[in-house]
C-alpha cells in the first residue's frame, strides 16, 4: 500500500524512461517492503526546472534536470527496510537509466493502516476487508 509520488522535471524524461522508473520502483517496493503483487499506487507530477528545487543540503554536489524527488507514504517500516529500499532503487535506476549519483532524493512519511480508504468511503484495514 505504499503511495509513491514522483516529481520530475518536465521534458527531461521520455515516456519509456518514466515507465522504467515506475516499474523499477514497484519492483523495489515489493522486494524491500514485501508488498504484495498488485499493491501499486504511483503518481507522476511534472515541474519546470525552476519549480523543482532540490539543493544539496550542504553536502557539496549539484543535480541535473534528470533529478527525481520521490515522496512515499507508507505504514511504518524498519530501518533496514528503508535503507534497503533507498539503496536498491538508487542502484537499479543508475543501472537501467544511467541516473546521476546525486539525482535521486527520497522522503518517506509513515502513517497507519487506519489512514487509508481504498474505495467506497470505507477504512478497509479497520473493517477487516484487507
pLDDT tens, residue by residue, 3-13? 999 999 999 99
- Please state the domain extents for the chain: 3-127
pTM for the model stands at 0.94
Taking residues 62-86, report their average pLDDT. Answer: 97
Burial of residue 70 (CB within 10 Å: 0-12, 13-18, 19+) is: buried
Q: Which residues have a catalytic role annotated?
A: 2
Across 25-38, average pLDDT: 97
CATH (residue range 3-127):
3.30.429.10
Chain-wide mean pLDDT for the chain? 96
Question: Which residues, at least 6 apart from 65, have a Cβ–Cβ distance to it below 8 Å?
Answer: 9, 12, 49
Of 71, 53, 78, 73, the residue nearest 63 (C-alpha):
53
Distance from C-alpha of 77 to C-alpha of 103, rounded to nearest angstrom: 24
pLDDT at 106: 98
Is a pLDDT exceeding 90 seen at residue 93? yes
Which burial class, exposed, middle or buried, applies to 2 when counting CB atoms under 10 A from its CB (0-12, 13-18, 19+)? buried
Rounded Cα gap, residues 60 and 91, in angstroms: 21
Average pLDDT score over residue span 100-124: 95
Amino acid 10: pLDDT: 97
Amino acid at each position: 500500500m505504499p503511495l509513491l509520488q514522483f516529481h520530475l522535471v518536465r521534458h527531461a524524461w521520455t515516456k519509456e524512461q518514466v515507465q522504467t522508473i515506475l516499474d523499477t520502483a514497484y519492483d523495489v517496493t515489493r522486494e524491500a517492503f514485501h508488498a504484495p503483487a498488485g499493491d501499486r499506487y504511483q503518481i507522476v507530477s511534472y515541474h519546470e526546472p525552476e519549480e523543482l528545487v532540490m539543493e544539496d543540503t550542504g553536502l557539496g554536489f549539484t543535480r541535473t534536470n534528470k533529478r527525481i524527488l520521490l515522496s512515499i507514504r507508507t505504514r511504518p517500516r524498519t530501518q533496514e527496510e528503508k535503507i534497503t529500499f533507498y539503496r536498491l532503487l538508487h542502484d537499479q535506476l543508475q543501472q537501467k537509466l544511467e541516473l546521476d549519483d546525486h539525482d535521486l532524493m527520497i522522503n518517506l512519511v509513515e502513517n497507519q493502516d487506519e489512514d487509508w480508504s481504498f474505495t467506497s468511503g470505507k477504512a478497509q484495514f479497520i473493517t477487516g476487508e484487507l
